[in-house]
Amino acid sequence: MMDIIKYPKKEDWGRLLDRPLQDTGTLDNIVLPVLADIKMNGDPAVRKYIRKFEGACPDNLMVTEDEIKEGVRNTYPELKNAIDRAYRNIESFHRAQYKGVKRITTAKGITCWQRSIAIEKVGIYVPGGSAPLFSTVLMLAIPANIAECNDIIICSPAGPDGKLHPAILYAAYISGVSKIFKIGGAQAIAAMAYGTETVPKVYKIFGPGNQYIMAAKQIVAMHDVAIDMPAGPSEVMVIADSDTPPEFAAVDLLSQAEHGPDSQVMLLTTHPEIIKRVSREVKRQLELLPRREIACKSLENSKMIVLSDDDQIMEMVNEYAPEHLIIATKNAEELAEKVINAGSVFIGIYTPESAGDYISGTNHTLPTNGYAKFYNGVNLDNYVKKITFQQITEEGILNSGNSIMIMAEAEKLDAHKNAAGLRLKYLRKEK
Amino acid sequence: MMDIIKYPKKEDWGRLLDRPLQDTGTLDNIVLPVLADIKMNGDPAVRKYIRKFEGACPDNLMVTEDEIKEGVRNTYPELKNAIDRAYRNIESFHRAQYKGVKRITTAKGITCWQRSIAIEKVGIYVPGGSAPLFSTVLMLAIPANIAECNDIIICSPAGPDGKLHPAILYAAYISGVSKIFKIGGAQAIAAMAYGTETVPKVYKIFGPGNQYIMAAKQIVAMHDVAIDMPAGPSEVMVIADSDTPPEFAAVDLLSQAEHGPDSQVMLLTTHPEIIKRVSREVKRQLELLPRREIACKSLENSKMIVLSDDDQIMEMVNEYAPEHLIIATKNAEELAEKVINAGSVFIGIYTPESAGDYISGTNHTLPTNGYAKFYNGVNLDNYVKKITFQQITEEGILNSGNSIMIMAEAEKLDAHKNAAGLRLKYLRKEK
């Protein structure tokens, strides 16, 4: 089912590590008119596209207080308890990322510092579909709350009953979300980017979604808002050796494969003998999976690769730049030190990727499609702007003013030069 | 020359604070074919566009060791000394932003941490034109060097003599730049985004430039590389009171206005009586400026606004979200505490904006066009990915495995559930 490749030549790595191709050009053509219409016409256009793409449009786009209370009530205690645990872990990991003011005296009389200030308004997209992704709410709203963003809004398509899943409402409720709207698709992205009569404009949009959502996010990111990151299909790379229980390797591959038919899963090993055992386990477990059709398709894009040593393994990891990297080998900690490009790393046989999706505390919104070479997953930084401040004393400008003048003159910016020059003159006259 | 507006009504603020409009649609049409051609054809296409847009094409696109040595030699000692000072200050401010590994135990047996790892290959665009912007080299290469990026390359168009300015070469030399290429315009952005026979592909592109550069950066940022931030014309907001020497306010306005005809400068005050004095100073100083034509045009987009109290002032600042904010009032420190949206803030009458451009140590690559609401200026974070790691012990999975299972089941992801379940089973069997 998964391709098995043994000791590939270096010149074939590029092709081997290629992601399944996505055609993005046609998406823009579908999404652009939706964005333009909503920018111009607000709520009526939003309702039009909900009817067109999602089916019935709820009378009330905004979730009421009563609906939230109902959701909180209808989330069963066991799930509430699990969500609360996840909340605490995510909260403590993200709060530790907070960095206070740091004042630096860079030169005599010059003090500089950086202050992290929350982005005032953020929007979170929570996909609809078969499963209620309350974990997305936790991952994207908790750091917004820690950062102290003023407005934290959510858009998510309502189900056929016109409601959002109770667990989504519960997660939103405990994470300090201000407003929730029953809007899905590109119309949700447009509503948050431009604002409508009902939906407030936000400054930054977070959250996963299908290709239309992603295309819409990238278009609005060009001039109107920031986004968390571009995204493609989800992926995992698992490094296994003879110490890795084959059922663990198999289930970790499958838990990525079940995300979507375009997910990609890869197994790397220097132990050719484990390939057969892991394959057998994949086949066995797959039969029992409700989402086996999806997983099956995704396994067709996927590969088991045998390499000759750990250096090659880590070279391939860093070239592929996986969203999730599971290192289930005996020397997992040692290999983890050599990771240069990855979204999130799972060390040891008791650290499945699903731990990171829910409970460990790290964020599960991660760079896909090789973007881990230049983006990281969502963290507290994504919710703040780091504004710089500087303050120069009389002594400071007397000491450094001349350097400003020399450099400004060399860059042919005379007013820049005069800005220092006039201050020096003023101070010298005073004395 | 500058519009003077006294006590505007709140409903007029939006219009008052509008940026000069930019038409970006037509730019894409010019830039897209250039990008596509270079992606497909590499160096020959790069050369073709250099000839088309810049004039003669140098035989050697890459700057040689000898040329760098010559540049270092030809930078006069006074300027070298000023650049060295700037280097030290920028270095010390950006190095202080480094954040080490922080291990957090989020729950029993679960350890999470974040590691900052350099983006391996970064490219810096340094605009050509009338002035050699060596300060851009310092601002964008020093943090790359602190982050320990492997490849730090520069593209900048050669002058009519086929050379880059000595000070650019000197700044690149001391900042640890690996390679320098004589390429400007959209062709430079394409070469760095896709790689050619001569120019290595990078993962992230930094640097200012004209509208074509910006359009090209935004297009390649959609799928191929990261960029520092979108950008528009430069801008400053100055807050002055009766304590601000009018010549200081005037020169600070002019030093922004001289950047380009589309720059915008704003003066805010609660002291109507200073408007006349500052205006007179602007007029007087303008006459003496070599770049007065540019500054004059920019002043036409610019405004002096009288407001009734400090709260209004800070509300307007935060609504405009200026790239540079100079607070030259008596209570500057107090007002600085209230800044929510700005790129960089200059406190007190001895802190001109040109100090931040060159010497203070803060970065001068800052968000324009109101983007300070959701972006910050370049800092060390922009050169690293913060990869997350997690490690779960037997105790950890025994303690938290059930929560993973409950949440995965609620999200209908069975393999995710099994990933925890199989591990629990395995451990329970062992005991």
Among B94, B165, B259, B324, which one carries the catalytic annotation?
A: B324
pLDDT at B70 exceeding the cut of 90: yes
CA B104 to chain centroid: 32
> Over the stretch B241-261, which tens digit does the pLDDT of each residue have?
999 999 999 999 999 999 988
A24 touching B, CB under 8 A? Answer: yes
pLDDT per position as a tens digit, A402-412: 999 999 999 99
Pick from A95-104, A119-128, A325-334, A389-398: least confident: A95-104
B314 pLDDT band, cuts 50/70/90, is very high
- Average pLDDT of the segment spanning B138-145: 97
Cα radius of gyration rounded to whole Å, chain B: 26
Q: In what order do the strands lie in the sheet with B324-327?
A: A104-107, A110-118, A384-392, B344-347, B324-327, B235-240, B264-269, B303-306, B3-6
**Stretch(es) of chain A classified as CATH 3.40.50.1980:** 24-229, 232-376
Q: Which of A320, A354, A378 to mutate to test the interface with B (most CBs of B within 10 A)?
A: A354
pLDDT bracket for residue B131 (50, 70, 90)? confident
Q: pLDDT higher for B28 or A64?
A: A64
H or E stretch covering B6? strand B3-6
Other CB atoms within 10 Å distance of the CB of residue A333 = 13
Residue A19: which pLDDT band, with cuts at 50, 70 and 90? confident
- Measured in angstroms, the CA of A29 and the nearest CA of chain B are apart by 15
Which CATH fold topology does B232-376 show?
Answer: Rossmann fold (3.40.50)
Nearest one of A106, A338, A375 to B382, comparing CA atoms: A375
Give tens-digit pLDDT for B169-216: 999 999 999 999 999 999 999 999 999 999 999 999 999 998 899 999
A328-357 average pLDDT score: 98
Q: Would you say A234 and A323 are in contact if contact means Cβ atoms under 8 Å apart? A: yes
Chain B environment of A375 (Cβ under 8 Å): 226, 385
Q: Stretch A173-178: mean pLDDT, rounded?
A: 96
Task: Calculate mean pLDDT across residues B38-60.
Answer: 94
Which of A74, A379, A388 to probe by mutation at the B interface, max B CB count within 10 Å?
A388
**Among this protein's residues, is A324 annotated catalytic?**
yes
* pLDDT confidence bin for A431, thresholds 50/70/90: low
Torsion of CA B23, B26, B30, B31, to 10 degrees: 50
Q: Rounded mean pLDDT of A223-240? A: 93
Return the pLDDT at A98: 80
Mean pLDDT over residues A257-285, rounded? 95
The pLDDT of residue A212: 92
Categorize the per-residue pLDDT at A424 as very low, low, confident or very high, splitting at 50, 70 and 90.
Answer: very high
- B contact residues 371-390, partner A, Cβ 8 Å cutoff: 371-377, 379, 381, 384-390
B79 — contact with chain A (CB < 8 Å)?
yes
With a cut of 90, say whether residue B99 has pLDDT above it: no
> Which residues of chain B does A228 touch, with a Cβ-Cβ cutoff of 8 Å?
none
Which fold is adopted by the domain B24-229? Rossmann fold (3.40.50)
| Chain B hits for A167, Cβ within 8 Å | 410
**Which among A90, A140, A76, A18 has a CA at the least distance from the CA of A355?**
A90
pLDDT at B233 over 90: no
* pLDDT of B125 over the 90 cut: yes
Q: What's the per-residue H, E or C state across chain A? A: CCEEEECCCHHHHHHHCCCCCCCCHHHHHHHHHHHHHHHHHCHHHHHHHHHHHHCCCCCCCECCHHHHHHHHHHCCHHHHHHHHHHHHHHHHHHHCCCCCCCCEEEECCEEEEEEEEECCEEEEECCCCCCCCHHHHHHHHHHHHHHCCCEEEEECCCCCCCCCCHHHHHHHHHCCCCEEECCCHHHHHHHHHHCCCCCCCCCEEECCCCHHHHHHHHHHCCCCCEECCCCCCCEEEEEECCCCCHHHHHHHHHHHHCCCCCCEEEEEECCCHHHHHHHHHHHHHHHCCCCHHHHHHHHHCCEEEECCCHHHHHHHHHHHCCCEEEECCCCHHHHHCCCCCCCEEEECCCCCHHHHHHCCCCCCCCCCCCHHHCCCCCCHHHHEEEEEEEEECHHHHHHHHHHHHHHHHHCCCHHHHHHHHHHHHHHHHHC
Is A238 part of the contact surface with chain B (CB cutoff 8 Å)? no
What would the mean pLDDT of B313-339 be, rounded to a whole number? Answer: 98
Residue B32 CB: number of other CB atoms within 10 A? Answer: 14
Confidence check: pLDDT of B5 > 70: yes
Gap between the Cα atoms of A197 and A242, Å rounded: 60
| 30-69 in chain B: CB under 8 A from chain A | none
Does the pLDDT value for residue B431 go beyond 70? no
Summarize the confidence of residues B70-93 as an average pLDDT. 93
Q: Is the pLDDT of residue A430 over 90?
A: no
Query: How many CA within 13 A on the CB side of residue A264?
Result: 22
On the question of pLDDT at B278 being above 70, the answer is: yes
Q: Using a CB–CB cutoff of 8 Å, tell me whether A84 touches chain B.
A: no
Length of chain A equals: 431
Q: What is the pLDDT of residues B336-380, one digit of tens each?
A: 999 999 999 999 999 999 999 999 999 999 999 999 999 999 999
| pLDDT tens for each residue of B386-396 | 999 999 999 99
Q: What would the mean pLDDT of A273-284 be, rounded to a whole number?
A: 96
